[in-house]
Amino acid sequence: METVSWTDALSTGVDEIDAEHRYYFEILHRFNKARADGFDPRRVRTLLNDLLAYIEMHFRHEEAIMREAGYPAFERHIAGHQRAAAAIQDLFASNPSDSEIHEFLNNFLSRWLINHIQYEDRAFGDWQSTGGGA
């Protein structure tokens, strides 16, 4: 899996959301460690369970913050979250092989997550910093 790390370039300017995003990168590092250790199926399944639970919690929390602020792109943002959650649940339900997990983590968590943070979540932070929801 590609090594990805949190950088300030990924900051949305919303401290609560940024803290939760940093945790995603901790999960990625756990998957990297599991892969380096031989991808024990039980460990991978535990990590996938943790990932799914965390993503569901994070999406609900982020959406609540946006809803409360009156974010005008709220519905579009939720649709992106729903597509991501469906992709994760589909993978989880398919009893994926190690290579499928590896591919998913590279394509989804590494690429989708970074793009989502940089464009979608940052748009919310920018909107808030210019007085949106005030």
Domain ranges of the chain: 9-129
* Nearest-angstrom CA–CA distance, 19 and 13: 10
Question: pLDDT (tens digit, 9 = 90+) per residue, 87-113?
Answer: 888 887 888 887 787 778 777 767 888
Choose the CATH number for 9-129 among 1.20.120.50, 2.30.30.100, 3.40.50.970, 1.20.1730.10.
1.20.120.50
pLDDT classification of 30: cutoffs 50, 70, 90: confident
pTM: 0.84
* Nearest-angstrom CA–CA distance, 66 and 26: 24
- Cβ atoms of 98 and 39 within 8 Å: the answer is yes
Sequence-ordered list of residues with C-beta below 8 angstroms from that of 105, at least 6 positions apart, any chain:
1, 28, 31
pLDDT at 56 > cutoff 80:
yes
Q: Which amino acid is at 81?
A: H
